[in-house]
Amino acid sequence: MIDREEIKQELIRIAGAERVTADEMMSGHTTFRIGGPADFFVTPRDVDSLRGVLQFVRGHEIPHFILGNGSNLLVSDEGYRGVVIRIGNGFDELAAEGTGIRAGAGVLLSQIAAAARGAELTGMEFASGIPGSLGGAVVMNAGAYGGELKDIVRSVTVMTEEGEVLVIGRPDMDFGYRTSIVKKKHWTVLAADLLLQEGDPAAIDARMNELREARTSKQPLNYPSAGSTFKRPEGYFAGKLIMDSGLAGCRVGGAAVSAKHCGFVVNEGGATASDVYRLIRKVRRVVYEKYGVMLEPEVKFVGNFPDLNA
């Protein structure tokens, strides 16, 4: 069994000392602003470095997960006993050519939307306010206001579990509601090519402003959160079910169901992962008792949490 110091030294050998930290607080890497320390936090500098890190942790069966912008994660208060691999700088290429945009997995959707606007390209406006990075957005087929990543993806460059780099065209991405072939096969997104359309700058600006105002007026952007806490149940809206169940403003510790938009669980100050987790369980239980609908979290739980269905 490889020990902690051996893990650290091998990660440093592969990625470089400046890209490896121990006991990194995950609260600084999630939009919830919650999460205890990860044993090791690595930011690979390029594809070869990423491949080396993944082969090492998988070869030694060391727990690990891939992190983007941390916009859909709840990390436990105890943190993560393993290696967090951050796809960030090193995967931040961003270039527009014709009606296409090539972007690395670590680039924020808001940055890509701004680049599209600068190139007078339309089709990316829906994603301008989604807080995630491109890699995570592709994995989950992120969407908002009637648009989804599948609408604009031309191809995705991925790394398989064996370390092979593949380019997957949109027809083979198997996009669905908050899923894709990347998620199903546990691949890692490296980059994506997006196909947009020529647009009128004034119209693009108007649409982005319209969506910004809609988010500001309807979503609790003044509190840390992971965005929509629950997936949309077929035939329903999660937020309305929660509101109609009388749960608006319901609190556990520092976590609360937003009265502004009941689909959001927010950190109103000092919330722990346990607070959020217990509130999510309560919301699921009450909604199921009242409407017979079991809400499925859109948030990913990382670290040690009890069985949500227990």
Domains delineated in the chain:
4-86 (3.30.43.10), 94-217 (3.30.465.10), 220-302 (3.90.78.10)
Of 133, 228, 245, 258, which one is the catalytic site residue? Answer: 228
Sequence-separated (6 or more) residues with CB below 8 Å from residue 96: 102, 115, 116, 118, 119, 121
Per-residue tokens: 219: 């979503």
Residue 298 annotated as catalytic: yes
Q: Which of 106, 24, 8 is nearest to 56 (CA)?
A: 8
CB within 8 A of 247, min separation 6: which ones? 257, 262, 282, 283, 286, 287
Q: Which residues of the chain have pLDDT under 50?
A: none
Report pLDDT for 1.
74
User: Which pLDDT does position 309 carry in this prediction?
Assistant: 81
Catalytic residue among 178, 180, 274, 284: 178
| Residue 310 pLDDT | 72
Catalytic residue among 110, 207, 232, 298: 298
State pTM to two decimals: 0.94
- State how far the Cα of 76 lies from the Cα of 30, in Å rounded to an integer: 11
Q: Establish whether 10 is a catalytic residue.
A: no
pLDDT digits (tens, 9 = 90+) for 67-96: 999 999 999 999 999 999 999 999 999 999
Based on the residue annotation, tell me whether 178 is a catalytic residue of this protein.
Answer: yes
